[in-house]
Structure 1
Amino acid sequence: MTKKIKSMLALGLVAAMAVGITGCGINTSGGSSSGGDADSLNIFVWTEYIPDSVIQNFEKETGIKVNVTTFSSNEDMLAKVKAEAEGTYDIVQPSDYMVKQMISQDMLEKLDKDKLTNLKNIGEQYLNPSYDPDNTYSVPYQGGVAAIAVNTKKVKKEITSYNDLFDPSLKNSLVVLDDYRAVIGMTERSMGLSMNETDPDKLKEVEQKLLTLKDNIKVYDSDSPKSSLISGDCTVGFCWSAEIALAMEENPDIKIVFPKEGAYVFMDNWAIPKGAKHKDAAEKFINYILEPETSEAISKEFPYLNPNTAAVKAMGADYTDNEAKNPPESVISAGEYVDNLDTDTIATLDSMWTKLKG
C-alpha cells in the first residue's frame, strides 16, 4: 500500500508521460470492445501494492495477460486516465474520496455483482461506504492509516502526535508521504482542524504551520518510504501503516505511533473506468482478488488493513495482533477520511504544497 496533488505543472507532466510499467506494457488491442472474452487486461494500480505472484497466478488460471501500470497518487491516476483515450485501462485503484470524485464525473462503470461472487468475503463494516453507497462502482481492496514511524534507538524525544513532527529537534530527519492531502491533512489534524477544512482564514494558518515542517523533511516518498527508515537515512517517518510494519520487520528499533489527534484513514478500491474494453475480464480479476487465498497472499507481502474477513481469519494472530498491519478499530474510529473539496480550496492546497516543496 501501500496509497499522494503535485503542482499543476507536475500533474501536466504526469499526463504527458508514461508511468512505470510491469510486464509487457499496455496492450489495448486484445479482446472484444463489448467487454466479452479477452486475452489481455490493462490495470492501473498503486506502486508496490500487488505481488507479482498474484498477477502470475491469475494469468495461469485464466490465460489472460495482465499489463500493469503504476501510479503514486490519486491525482496522478486521475490526470492520466483523463489524458488517455477512453478504454485505455480496464481497472483502476482509487482511494475512497477519489472513487466519489470519479463517480461524480461519470468516469466509472457500474459493477455486475452477479460476477463478483467473492464479495461475500468482505466484512459488512467495509461495505456500503458513504463514498459509494451499495458498492455500485467499487470494491474495497486494502486500507489503513498514515501513522508515525520512530527509530527509538536514534530518537530520544518522545513522539506521540502529528504535532511532534514539527519539533525543530527533528531537522532533516523525516521521510514523509509525497501526498499533499496526507501531509497538509496531518498538519490540519495537528492544529485540531479537519483534514477537509475549507475556511480561507484557517487555511492561511495551516500554511504558516506547514511551512515550518520544511526544514524537518529530508525525503518525500509515497512509493517506498520504509527504505529511508530501514537504511537509517531518516529516523522518523509519516508513512502508510503497512510501510511501517515492513520497516519494523527489518529493524526492531522502529516503532509505530498512532497520533493522539486522530490519524489520516484511507481505503483503496477496485473500480472499472468508463469504456473499459475488457469489463468481463476485469470483473473476473476483481473476483479473483477477493478469494481468501489471494487476499491472504497480498497481505503477507503488503500488510495493509484487509477488509477480507475470510483472509484475515486464515492469517491468524501474526496479522490480527500486529497493530501496524491491522490498526485497531479504536484508531480507525478516531481518525478521519479525506473528502472531495471545492476547486478554490484545492487551488489553495496546491499552492501550499508547491511552497513546501519549492
Structure 2
Amino acid sequence: MLKKVRQKGILLIGLLTVAISVTACGNNGGTPNSSGSSNAPNLNAAPEASPAVDTGSKDEPLVVYLNDFDEIIKPMFEEATGYKLELVSGNGAEIASRIEAEKGNPHWDVVWMDAMPTIDQMGKNGQLLEGWSPNNVDQLTDFAKAFVPENKTYYPTGAHAASVIVYNTKAFDANTAPKTWADLADPKFKGVVGMADPAVAAPAFPFVAWFFQTQGMDGGQKFFDSLLKNDLHVYPKNPNVAKALTGGEIKAAALQESNAYTLKNAGEPIEIIWPEEGAPASVRVAAIQKNTKHADAAKAFIEFILDPKTQQALIDKGEESYFEASAKGVTEKSDRAANAKLVVAEAAWAGEHEGEIKQWFADKAVK
C-alpha cells in the first residue's frame, strides 16, 4: 500500500496540475519575500502588448516566474543591467496554476524552471517568443546545445540530478545500501524508501519521465508499481523527503542532488550514490512570454543567466548550487561526484505524455 504521507489538499493540487496543459511555479499570496521580491504580480497589469515589441519602461519590473531557488539573481541582475526585477517563486504545481489562469493575459515576462517538457509544450502552443537567439548562445556546452529546440523558444541554464540515491548511514552501509534504481523495489527496502511527487515537485517529473520513455509506458508503470507495492513514501517536495530521511521516517530516498549535498554538508548521517546507469536529470530552462512588453529586459535576463560568470556565481553562492552548468568554462562544486552521469528524457516526448504520467501517479495515490 502506498503510504499516505500527503494531505488531501496536496493530492488535489496534483490532480489540478494534470488537468492543465502548462506546469510552472508561483505562490498565491502577495506578501513580499525576504529578498524584496513579490510573490504575486500586479493583477491590474496592462493588456498584452504586441509580440517582441518593448513598450515598457526601465522603471517597470521584469516579472520572472521561477522555482523556489536562487533569489540572489535579483540583486545581481539589477546591478549588472539597470533593469528592475520582480521574482514570483513557488513549486511547479503552484506556478502551473498561475500560468494557466493567466493564459489570456499573462502577468509574467520570463519563466525560469526545472520544467523543460512543460516549457517545450508551451513553445509548441504559441505561448513563447520564437526564433530569437541570445548573443552568447555559442558559449553553451555541447551537452546544453542539444536541448535548444528548433523553434528557439527556450534556452537551458543548467542540469542537475532530479534524483540520486541517498541512504541513512545509521540504517545501511556501503554494502547493504541500494545502489541501482531497481534496488529500490527490493523487498529488503520495503517501507523505507521515499521520493517527491511528480505532480507537485518540478524536478520529480523529469525523474519519472526518463523511466517511462526508456522503458515504454507499460514498462514505466511496471517499474513504479513495483516501488509503490514496496510501500514507497511519496512526499510533496524534495525538502519533505530530506526531512523524512534525517528524521528516521525513511531510510533511503530518490532525492534531488542539491538537497542531498546540503544534507551531507550539514553533517547529517547520509551518503550519496550516483547509479552507474545514470541519474535522470532536470534541465532548468528559461523562456520569454510571447507578448511581453519588456522584450529588451527579458532578452537581457536570458543572456545574463547564460553568462558563465553568472552561472559560476550561482554555483559559488546560490541556493541550488549543485548542477552542471550550461555555459562553457564554469567550475562545478568540488565535492560533486566525479562519476556524476546525467541522463535526460526527451523534452517533446515527456511533454506530450506529462498529463498521462501524472494522472497515473495521482490514481495510484488516491485510495
TM-score range, shorter chain: 0.7 to 0.9
Contact 2:213 2:220 in 1 (8 A): no
Match of 2:328 among 292, 309, 328: 309
Structure 1 residue 288 corresponds to structure 2 residue 304: yes
Give the superposition deviation at 1:275: 1.4
Structure 1 residue 275 corresponds to structure 2 residue 291: yes
Structure 1 residue 332 corresponds to structure 2 residue 351: no
Report 1:1-358 matches (<5 A): 7-9=14-16, 18-19=27-28, 22=33, 23-24=37-38, 25-27=40-42, 29=45, 33=49, 34-36=53-55, 37-38=57-58, 39-47=60-68, 49-50=69-70, 52-73=71-92, 77-84=95-102, 85-94=104-113, 95-110=115-130, 112-113=132-133, 116-129=134-147, 132-133=149-150, 136-145=152-161, 146-156=163-173, 157-180=176-199, 182=204, 186=208, 189=211, 194-195=213-214, 197-199=216-218, 202=219, 205-206=222-223, 208-213=225-230, 215-217=231-233, 219-222=235-238, 225-251=241-267, 253-300=269-316, 301=318, 302=320, 303-312=322-331, 319=333, 322-323=336-337, 328=340, 331-332=341-342, 336-337=345-346, 339-340=348-349, 346-347=355-356, 349-356=358-365, 358=367
Percent sequence identity is 18
Name the amino acid aligned to 1:276.
T
Gaps of 5+ in 1: none
Aligned residue for 1:143, secondary structure, equals strand
Contact 1:7 1:351 in 2 (8 A): no
Give the superposition deviation at 1:249: 0.8
Give the superposition deviation at 1:117: 3.1
Give the superposition deviation at 1:210: 4.4
Contact 1:162 1:186 in 2 (8 A): no
Task: Return the alpha-carbon distance in structure 2 between the equivalents of residues 345 and 10 of structure 1.
Answer: 10
Name the amino acid aligned to 2:120.
K
Name the amino acid aligned to 1:332.
L
Give the superposition deviation at 1:278: 1.3
| Pair 1:27–1:153, CA change in 2 (3 A) | same
Cα deviations by residue, 1:61-86 (Å, 9 ceiling, x for unpaired) = 4443322122323x654443121143
Name the amino acid aligned to 1:40.
P
Task: Return the alpha-carbon distance in structure 1 between the equivalents of residues 183 and 94 of structure 2.
Answer: 30
Contact 1:185 1:196 in 2 (8 A): no
Contact 2:198 2:208 in 1 (8 A): no
Contact 1:117 1:287 in 2 (8 A): yes
Contact 1:91 1:282 in 2 (8 A): yes
Give the CA RMSD over aligned residues: 3.7
Contact 2:48 2:105 in 1 (8 A): no
| Pair 1:112–1:9, CA change in 2 (3 A) | closer
Number of residue pairs matched? 330
Contact 2:166 2:271 in 1 (8 A): yes
Contact 1:141 1:268 in 2 (8 A): yes
Contact 2:66 2:87 in 1 (8 A): yes
Contact 1:58 1:288 in 2 (8 A): yes
Contact 2:139 2:328 in 1 (8 A): yes
